[in-house]
Structure 1
Amino acid sequence: MKIEMICTGEEVLSGQIVDTNAAWVANALMDHGIEMQQRVTVGDRLDDLVQVFQERSQHADIILVNGGLGPTSDDLSSLAMAKAKGESLVECAKWRARLEEWFTRNGRQMPPSNLKQALLPESAIMVDNPVGTACGFRVKLNRAWLFFTPGVPFEFKRMVEEQFIPFVKQQSDTRVEVEVYKLLTIGSGESVLANQLEELSLPEGLTLGYRSFMPYIEIKLFARGAESIAQLPEVVTVIKQQLGVCVVADNSDSLAKVVHQQLLEQECSLSVAESCTGGMIASNLVAFAGSSGYLHQGLVTYSNESKIKVLGVKSTTLDEHGAVSIATVTEMAQGVRGLLNSDYALATSGIAGPDGGTEQKPVGTVAIALATESGTYSQMLKFPGRSRELVRALSTAVAFDMLRRALLQQAVIVDYGYYHRVE
């Protein structure tokens, strides 16, 4: 079964906004073993939309169309689809009633322009949008089902998860059972990981895929068919043994999520003192509901004065070793842990760039410490040739992994690969 996507919108085509919907849905489909063959982006021009609907519907089995269902004059997806089929637009009475009820419930008067969202091609089948005013629909043209969704991300994602993916699965009577297992890694690039795994003999029906979203590389194992799925746990074990410490999580898209769950489950508390990461560690954690159950505080102690007055770092330590040093982050971690007697504390201090480096401590040099009840673990790493944002992201990932390993009672400081540790 051939699946494609058509992304609509002048702002997407011109690069004014980044099309996060397309990246998200491709990954969501892949998690279900569903591969997308092609994606097309087209602007808000009626003739172009009609042409792309007609052309791609001759090649694909299912086409996900995203955007162009709003109330304004440049929202043309419904009209273009009607023209592509040679049909009229007709009002969907069910959706008009939903619109009227939505505006009444929210104490608002419905603008006449919103009635446009109830107009669908004559042969269309309505697809419910449970969280918005844009009506989705699907319609058959040539060999393809075209499945229309709004562009608002939280509406789009809800409809994909609850309606589009189940629809795709229903269309294939001969669909082979697929299971996907994901391994999250840090410290090695795609080529290095591929070289390490290329000599592995994988069972028939099991394939590897890679996804880079720095600071992580995700390895995906696709098992197709019951026999391959049964062998998946054994293959995962072999791959973990081959890659060693660079594998940091199973079936998770971030170390923050892993650490968040660990801290909740073990009922441990955490404090954070950040310099070069500028709040990134704390921000990653508070993105998850329930983080107040363990996070005591997240302090951005950027200046030396703040390190001294807030965290109790000795001025002599800063004078003798500098702000970016194992001695300084050790005292930062111990100081922030002691403020509320947290079970754990993380601290970072580094040179994220693009300026500020020296011959001894070039841009990309970062010191990270983890303070625990039993002692403090500190290390200094170099991330050469990385952007400011990536240095911060890499530092955050290493800090999280140090905490993850401590919570698992594993060695806290390990050699990841191309992260160069300063002895």
Structure 2
Amino acid sequence: MTRIVMISTGDEVLQGDIVDTNAAWLSQQLNENGLQMSWRLTVADELSDLSRAFSEASQYADWIIVNGGLGPTSDDLSAEAAANALGEPLKEFTSWIDVLLERYQSRGRVMPESNRKQALLPVSAVLIDNPVGSACGFVIELNGARLLFTPGVPSEFKLMVKEQILPRILDAVEVTPPAMYRWLTFGLSESRLNDFLGKIELLEGMTLGYRSAMPSIEVKLKVVQGIEQQTVEHVISQIVDALGDNLFCHHNKGFAAEIQSLMLSREASLALAESCTGGMLASELVALAGSSAYFQRGYVTYSNEAKQQDINVPAQILEQYGAVSEQVAIAMAEGARAKAGTDYALSITGIAGPDGGTEEKPVGTVGFALATPDRTYSQLLRLPNRGRGLVRSVAAAMAMDMLRRYLIGKPVFGEYEFIKRVSSA
């Protein structure tokens, strides 16, 4: 078994000022390539602690990926700690100085003198190129282990891992990556998903897993090489059948990616009218390149005045039913569709909290509407009140689920484990 260790460095990571997303991402990349991380360590910006961590990990691991501490400031100590662990001095790698000078000159800038520190590496180090940042990576060998040093900036780290570090490890280790199949679900808990899927018989070499990232839960099937594809397809068919209408998409690219695919395939257009989500749904949709081909316009109508002025919601409907109601959701969707001239429009209006709820309409009460060329669908729901952020994110997902269901010919109003439907029309 190949033992892989990750050492994350930095006071800000250890103290929780920065969430270590690099570690989670690296674990996923290794897993998808048939490898596993054995240890994960986080070490403060202390020279002796870093040197000790490198030395002790090298007694156990085959590969050690060190993340962070390669910057130009005084608290960036990874290179010096590596030299101490090796018992050798630092050396200025002039080849990296030349790279940095050329990059600064090409931008019409003068390189700060402090950047020279980033070229001070252990004498025995071998450089790893960083095409997008000033901190080069490097490799050393210690006690038979190979330590690969990487910058902490996520974009630089991920590029270096994909293009240089993973290929190095995979070239040295005989491993066949498993096949991975992924589905995103909406409206069911992990325990309910496990009840549905736990009855499926898996062959040896098949592993079913779950990853919660509210408001979605990812279901993934890992299959080792050598199992007949016909057998795999039979298991996949059982999984898809068990997930039913709560299966949002056959990938893990996100709900917005599925909506974009469905809308583009129909050459249809969409407008939004958002109140409690405050543009969250629009932001999710436009985060994807190409969304302008179907998403035409979004209205954030937070106040009653905005609802009246921007999308022509009648004052009498607001007065009679209140802003959080099916009737207002319908008027918002139909007003947005008419004003934008789109095929479809979605609306969201609700109480995200923590204040503003009543006995009749508690926090988490949200109205939705989908206006189509044929009719308008609406529903008033009570979403789980687990904080303002979650109410808003679940509301955005719910609106997308209504549109998804309509586009694929499913009932627009789904059945959800943790959501109560107050009314629908």
Q: Normalising TM by the smaller chain, what interval?
A: over 0.9
Q: CA deviation at 1:379?
A: 1.4
Q: Where does the alignment leave 5 or more consecutive residues of structure 1 unmatched?
A: none
Q: CA deviation at 1:234?
A: 2.4
Q: CA deviation at 1:232?
A: 2.9
* 8 Å Cα contact 1:204/1:228 also seen in 2: no
Provide, for residues 89-139 of structure 1, a one-character-per-residue CA deviation record: whole Å limited to 9, x for no partner: 222232222111111111111122211111222222211111111001122
3-state secondary structure, aligned to 2:416? coil
Q: CA deviation at 1:192?
A: 2.0
* 8 Å Cα contact 1:317/1:328 also seen in 2: yes
3-state secondary structure, aligned to 1:5? strand
**Which residue in the other structure is 1:3 paired with?**
4
State TM-score, norm by structure 1: 0.96
* 8 Å Cα contact 1:178/1:229 also seen in 2: no
Deviates more, 1:206-215 or 1:24-33: 24-33
* 8 Å Cα contact 2:33/2:177 also seen in 1: no
**Which residue in the other structure is 1:411 paired with?**
411
Q: Distance in 2 between matches of 1:131 and 1:269?
A: 37
Provide, for residues 132-190 of structure 1, a one-character-per-residue CA deviation record: whole Å limited to 9, x for no partner: 110011222224221111011111111122122222222212x1331111111111222
Give the total of aligned pairs.
422
Deviates more, 1:68-77 or 1:286-295: 286-295
Amino acid of the structure 1 residue aligned with 2:309 = K
Q: 1:33 to 1:218 in 2, by over 3 A?
A: farther
**Which residue in the other structure is 1:19 paired with?**
20
3-state secondary structure, aligned to 1:194? helix
Deviates more, 1:67-76 or 1:137-146: 137-146
3-state secondary structure, aligned to 2:395? helix
Amino acid of the structure 1 residue aligned with 2:130 = N
Q: Distance in 2 between matches of 1:275 and 1:158?
A: 38
Report the identity percentage.
Answer: 50
Q: Distance in 2 between matches of 1:349 and 1:257?
A: 23
**Which residue in the other structure is 1:309 paired with?**
309
* 8 Å Cα contact 1:190/1:210 also seen in 2: yes
3-state secondary structure, aligned to 2:244? helix
Q: Distance in 2 between matches of 1:297 and 1:168?
A: 47
Q: CA deviation at 1:266?
A: 2.7
**Which residue in the other structure is 1:146 paired with?**
147
Where do residues 50-69 of structure 1 align in structure 2 (5 Å cutoff)? 50-69=51-70
**Which residue in the other structure is 1:290 paired with?**
290
**Which residue in the other structure is 1:137 paired with?**
138
State TM-score, norm by structure 2: 0.95
Q: Distance in 1 between matches of 2:172 and 2:181?
A: 24
**Which residue in the other structure is 1:268 paired with?**
268
Q: Distance in 1 between matches of 2:30 and 2:50?
A: 24
Q: Distance in 2 between matches of 1:388 and 1:275?
A: 13
Where do residues 369-380 of structure 1 align in structure 2 (5 Å cutoff)? 369-380=369-380
* 8 Å Cα contact 2:381/2:422 also seen in 1: yes
* 8 Å Cα contact 1:349/1:368 also seen in 2: yes
Q: Distance in 1 between matches of 2:302 and 2:64?
A: 50
Deviates more, 1:108-117 or 1:48-57: 108-117
**Which residue in the other structure is 2:242 paired with?**
242
Q: 1:371 to 1:34 in 2, by over 3 A?
A: farther
Q: Where does the alignment leave 5 or more consecutive residues of structure 2 unmatched?
A: none
* 8 Å Cα contact 2:200/2:235 also seen in 1: no
